[in-house]
Amino acid sequence: MKHHLHRGTALLGMLAMFVAPLAGHAATIGAFNAGDLIKGSGDTVYYFAANGKRFVFPNAKTYFTWYPDFSGVKTISDGHLATIPLGGNVTYRPGRKMVKVTTDPKTYVVDQGGFLRHITSEQLALTLYGISWKNQVDDLPDAFFVNYRLGTPIQTASDYKPSDVMTQTATIAQDKQLDETKITITIGSVNNGFVPTTTTLKKGTEVTWTNNDNMAHRVTEGKYCSPTGPGPCALIAPAWDSGAIQPGQTYKRTFNTVGSFDYYCGIHTVMQGTVNVVN
């Protein structure tokens, strides 16, 4: 399995060299949101999901079924990237292409959730993907086959409409059926702080802070203000406060008011974050 993943990322790496000059100029950032594409100093690109996990594109062909280019990729620090747990591999965008596995003569369409459905005749492939349907078949390396599941075969053209399937699965979150009304922010270490540092979400979204560190942290509303620091400072009682979040524990809060909410760690005040709530 490990070999497979590495082989896959190396493939994407070759293509990602095109993006390297662009990414080299990009400053690392802490502000990214569910649905964003992120990368560290390496070439591998990830999809950052609402559940706080990153999903890897196993090769360039998979990437280009979802995105036309690398222009939306945000570069973050390797420290931040390492804090974000891996969620799995991205699979082909449903409807875009058909796939064939090298060791299996069958041609499949891709359905939501990474389901492969066998196209039972050439006539069907022609009906669904037109006269040049053969150009719409990608070879899927055996190594990536494990990322997919086998669904029921397509018997008639009414079983599967590529354009409808694409419309219904516009994002990777939809494909993986992730709940975007629930957002996870990871607490990895004092150094890396809250990841992402700044999060923008819709009103009514529930945020879960997950403490993946080996020491307690605390989510305290407001901007930390040091009574001994420079400049004027008034300590204001926080509007909400998690109390100590022990390692492995979580704290949840639903944001029902539009606005920008700063918070910091009540134990390590150097750790600061912002939640932006929009309509």
Q: Which is nearer to Cu ion, 61 or 268 (CB)?
A: 268
Give the integer Cα–Cα distance in Å for 180 and 20. Answer: 30
Specify the residue for token string 């390297």: 20
Binding mask 225-254 for Cu ion (x = CB under 5 A): ------------------------------
Binds Cu ion by CB under 5 A, chosen from 12, 175, 268, 277: 268
What secondary structure, in 3-state letters, does 213-228 show? CCCCEEEEECCCCCCC
Give the integer Cα–Cα distance in Å for 58 and 15. Answer: 12
Contact call for residue 197 and Cu ion (CB under 5 A): no
Contact call for residue 176 and Cu ion (CB under 5 A): no
Q: Which is nearer to Cu ion, 38 or 219 (CB)?
A: 219
- From the list 108-116, 169-177, 191-199, 214-222, the region that binds Cu ion by CB under 5 A is 214-222
Q: Which is nearer to Cu ion, 162 or 196 (CB)?
A: 196
Count, residues near Cu ion per rule CB under 5 A: 5
- From the list 75-83, 84-92, 204-212, 268-276, the region that binds Cu ion by CB under 5 A is 268-276
Contact call for residue 173 and Cu ion (CB under 5 A): no
Could you tell me the smallest distance in angstroms from the CB atom of residue 133 to Cu ion? Answer: 56
Q: Which is nearer to Cu ion, 214 or 228 (CB)?
A: 214
**Residues 6 or more apart from 146 whose CB is under 8 A from it?**
1, 4
Give the integer Cα–Cα distance in Å for 236 and 71. Answer: 42
- From the list 14-22, 144-152, 204-212, 260-268, the region that binds Cu ion by CB under 5 A is 260-268
Q: Which is nearer to Cu ion, 44 or 220 (CB)?
A: 220
Binding to Cu ion (CB under 5 A) within 71-110 occurs at none
CA geometry: angle 245, 233, 191, nearest 5 deg: 40
**Residues 6 or more apart from 216 whose CB is under 8 A from it?**
244, 245, 246, 247, 267
DSSP letter for each residue of 182-207:
EEEEEEEETTTEEESSEEEEETTEEE
Contact call for residue 267 and Cu ion (CB under 5 A): yes
DSSP letter (8 states) at residue 232? -
**Residues 6 or more apart from 58 whose CB is under 8 A from it?**
5, 8, 9, 11, 12, 89, 90, 143, 144, 147
Binding to Cu ion (CB under 5 A) within 1-30 occurs at none
Binds Cu ion by CB under 5 A, chosen from 217, 224, 242, 263: 217
Contact call for residue 265 and Cu ion (CB under 5 A): yes
Q: Which is nearer to Cu ion, 84 or 124 (CB)?
A: 84
- For the chain, the straight-line distance linking the first and the last C-alpha, in angstroms and rounded, comes to 42
- From the list 15-23, 161-169, 191-199, 257-265, the region that binds Cu ion by CB under 5 A is 257-265
Would you tell me which residues interact with Cu ion (CB under 5 A)? Answer: 217, 265, 267-268, 271
